[in-house]
Chain A
């Protein structure tokens, strides 16, 4: 029975709260390939099947051994003697009927010999316990097809993961402690007119105590700037003086003591971060300066087109700043004052996104693509996250292994430190090399097989 949208919402609720419906859609459009259904491999797939990956294909030419059935939850003693890809697919498929499970009873080397383009269809290929030669061959095929490759190994209590991806762009990187985008150091016109509508000195007590701290800091900053030649508080001494001025703005009661004005306390507490200069993060500047951004073609992904559009915005309408994010943190205030302030930022964000949209349109037109190729929704999301954009780039396996481009300096410098884990990297490379030369792993000889329970 096909899962209804509702029942899927219920089932996936806990993860939808992490990556949203659009994240789930991307997951459901993905087709993952696992090579070798070892315990490590099936464990990885389990964690993709449960959240609803679109499809998986296991490539494995091995027959299930007694050892395999002993350490793998997705093989049973009944599986012994059967092809490992098929046996594991059955027990993994059973975890989630939304997922389409497939298997190929073949070694990856054979596939590379006969049909390397087989691997082009996948969103990502995961290779577990693969010999070095297979990794390198497969790595070359996947690199030229721009398919990410995740290499995993596990020996006892030591595990290894190596991600090989040419370029992976991330729009929503969900940073843990993002700074707010309040623009207090370079207030936009609409913000300036909004704070003009406030006159702290004539407000009644209720309004005074429920004015958002952002307004308070903005007001006092205006005053400071006019008294300091347009220079904001810069060092600790000046910021402390600034805080003191705000403190003096707290209403006094009949006895001369201070009224309880939490919004003013918030203002004082937030002075430090509020005065942070608004600037384009270096990580984003680096993206602006990259080849992909400056050279937009018909093949450019929407990420790069949007990034270039944002860059154009920064150099034009933005006057050196990214599009306004539009969100503000909660703060002590009455509902109306807060909502009004929030709307000032939201409307500015919409305006900026519209300007970016225009740049997107003209960029698309310049490479002969229809302007609707990138949706308004996507552009808005991109603008909102423009401070947090990330691009991950990894070297190819060929570069890692080639004597000409090996990371010799970094490896040797880390080896100097006795606690460095670089020794494990070298050991694992040595294990792989041993296997290439002797077709077995160190410490394992058929004649010295560990005695069984009988």
Chain B
């Protein structure tokens, strides 16, 4: 019987040791040292003239940050790296980070958690490893995924979400996701279902940070008009009367590449492939020479093809610090949060301005007011689609529309699946009446800008 006991004893001891490691965070006792959190304790264990009126100093707040509070960082790039550093050093011990990208050489001038040897590896993984190693006791969990690959069960786990994204579409999607988590009781938002969203953005020497309480304060879509429209040159300029070097590059990208398929049939232009860019560059030079246009360079070519936004470390540092401060304030209730939109610009000296962005009464994302679409029944369906993409308050990318016609669910148009696109394309030139749509009809619209289908009401005008 003694022999039988030995393996049991061994197993118990291994389990014991593992448990001990888990409790200590697996860093062999070097997780805490004297004075480590003094700088945070000065905020949380003392009252002061700038604290929130409801703030009570105590030791629980720090423990909450270290062991309980769950923060999600979206993006592990320019802002993401800074956010992870700032949050970890502010006491946040449980951080998740999502990023779908891998590391590129051009990231290294600011995304300081990455080194030349990391090029090609997933940003989320490398960032998490670095923080976990440099800030013992902090546990960052990476997710090498698109934000759209994660569902509400995932997002619901977090107390606060902070975004360092580089696309408006992605921001709108996150915004929509958090709005979909809201619980309404008697028309009022249940505060416990609100997950604050801190959103940061930067471009060159400019940046902004904002605090969004979904369902309570202005959301991303409430202020869609604040974003400058993307520059797209008119086709006739590109095709027949270029004047700027950019026009020549767009000509090669939009017209010449699809025609010549230089790297094989169906091989799309990859802005990250230097061979592709070189091809576009050479042909842009030729195009420019035909019209006596100067100024086409390799750098300009790459910038136009990839829609490159200039970036430096310092702007990201400032905006991430502002965002982290807001996460800290919300998590500890120690200070009054930003209300609610800060802009920063240090092109000329240093300029910053804060204002309260207001909710839009009929915001298509957060107002819960159904959006009416007004069209005469003779309008072509194409016009409805154009409205969905071109209206400044909707700015959809490629909406897929379904409706219930004669009791059956019917896809009116869907661009992203080739076979369905072909089948539904004739609907574009049909009138709403021809399609069997009626006054007051509900149209369900899906688009990359929102995780949930949006419902519109079709209202016929004469």
Interface residues of A (CB under 8 A from B): 7, 10-18, 39, 43, 46-47, 50-52, 65-67, 69-73, 76-77, 80, 95, 156-157, 173-176, 210, 330-331, 333-336, 338-339, 342, 450, 452-454
Interface residues of B (CB under 8 A from A): 30, 32-39, 41-43, 45, 48, 50, 85, 89, 105-106, 108-110, 112, 134-136, 204-205, 241-244, 291-293, 299, 302-303, 308-314, 317, 325, 335, 347-348
**Do the beta carbons of A77 and B33 come within 8 Å of each other?**
yes
Q: A47-B317, A77-B136 are in contact. Are A14 and B308 (CB under 8 A)?
A: yes
| Alpha-carbon gap, A429 to B343, bound state (A) | 28
**Do the beta carbons of A17 and B310 come within 8 Å of each other?**
yes
**Do the beta carbons of B45 and A67 come within 8 Å of each other?**
no
Residues of B within 8 A of A331 (CB): 243
Of chain A, the residue at the smallest CB distance from B50 is A157
| Alpha-carbon gap, A13 to B309, bound state (A) | 10
A164, chain B: closest CB distance, angstroms: 15
Q: A67-B39, A173-B348, A176-B347 are in contact. Are A51 and B109 (CB under 8 A)?
A: yes
Of chain B, the residue at the smallest CB distance from A18 is B310
Of chain A, the residue at the smallest CB distance from B90 is A71
**Do the beta carbons of A67 and B36 come within 8 Å of each other?**
yes
**Do the beta carbons of A450 and B36 come within 8 Å of each other?**
no
**Do the beta carbons of A71 and B39 come within 8 Å of each other?**
yes
**Do the beta carbons of A14 and B36 come within 8 Å of each other?**
no
**Do the beta carbons of A70 and B37 come within 8 Å of each other?**
yes
Residues of B within 8 A of A70 (CB): 33, 35-39, 89
Residues of A within 8 A of B105 (CB): 7, 10-11
A433, chain B: closest CB distance, angstroms: 19
**Do the beta carbons of B34 and A50 come within 8 Å of each other?**
no
A73, chain B: closest CB distance, angstroms: 5
| Alpha-carbon gap, A334 to B237, bound state (A) | 8
Of chain B, the residue at the smallest CB distance from A91 is B134
**Do the beta carbons of B42 and A339 come within 8 Å of each other?**
no
| Alpha-carbon gap, A76 to B43, bound state (A) | 22
B186, chain A: closest CB distance, angstroms: 38
**Do the beta carbons of A77 and B30 come within 8 Å of each other?**
yes
| Alpha-carbon gap, A65 to B348, bound state (A) | 38
**Do the beta carbons of A43 and B291 come within 8 Å of each other?**
no
A211, chain B: closest CB distance, angstroms: 12
**Do the beta carbons of B314 and A452 come within 8 Å of each other?**
no
B430, chain A: closest CB distance, angstroms: 29
**Do the beta carbons of A15 and B108 come within 8 Å of each other?**
no
| Alpha-carbon gap, A41 to B26, bound state (A) | 31
| Alpha-carbon gap, A52 to B108, bound state (A) | 11
Q: A156-B43, A175-B348 are in contact. Are A47 and B313 (CB under 8 A)?
A: yes
Q: Which among B33, B45, B348 has the greatest number of chain A C-beta atoms within 10 A?
A: B33
**Do the beta carbons of B134 and A76 come within 8 Å of each other?**
yes
| Alpha-carbon gap, A367 to B41, bound state (A) | 63
Residues of A within 8 A of B292 (CB): 335-336, 339
Q: Which of B108, B241, B299, B308 contacts A333 (CB 8 A)?
A: B241
Given contacts A13-B308, A67-B36, 14 further A-B contacts (CB under 8 A): A11-B109, A13-B106, A14-B106, A46-B313, A46-B317, A50-B112, A50-B313, A52-B109, A67-B38, A156-B48, A175-B348, A176-B347, A339-B243, A339-B292
**Do the beta carbons of B33 and A18 come within 8 Å of each other?**
no
B450, chain A: closest CB distance, angstroms: 30
Residues of B within 8 A of A450 (CB): 38, 41-42, 45
| Alpha-carbon gap, A417 to B253, bound state (A) | 57
| Alpha-carbon gap, A175 to B351, bound state (A) | 14
Residues of A within 8 A of B43 (CB): 156
| Alpha-carbon gap, A454 to B36, bound state (A) | 11
| Alpha-carbon gap, A157 to B325, bound state (A) | 9
Residues of B within 8 A of A156 (CB): 42-43, 48, 50
Q: Which among B30, B48, B112 has the greatest number of chain A C-beta atoms within 10 A?
A: B112
Of chain A, the residue at the smallest CB distance from B205 is A18
**Do the beta carbons of A69 and B36 come within 8 Å of each other?**
yes
**Do the beta carbons of B106 and A10 come within 8 Å of each other?**
yes
**Do the beta carbons of A17 and B299 come within 8 Å of each other?**
yes
Of chain A, the residue at the smallest CB distance from B133 is A76
Q: Which of B243, B310, B335 contacts A330 (CB 8 A)?
A: B243
| Alpha-carbon gap, A157 to B33, bound state (A) | 24
Of chain A, the residue at the smallest CB distance from B41 is A450
B279, chain A: closest CB distance, angstroms: 18
| Alpha-carbon gap, A50 to B110, bound state (A) | 6
Residues of B within 8 A of A80 (CB): 33
A283, chain B: closest CB distance, angstroms: 12
Residues of A within 8 A of B135 (CB): 73
Of chain B, the residue at the smallest CB distance from A67 is B35
Closest 5 CB pairs of A and B: A66-B35, A70-B36, A17-B310, A67-B35, A338-B243
**Do the beta carbons of B291 and A15 come within 8 Å of each other?**
no
Residues of A within 8 A of B30 (CB): 77
Q: A70-B35, A76-B134, A95-B112 are in contact. Are A334 and B313 (CB under 8 A)?
A: no
Of chain B, the residue at the smallest CB distance from A450 is B41
Residues of B within 8 A of A76 (CB): 134
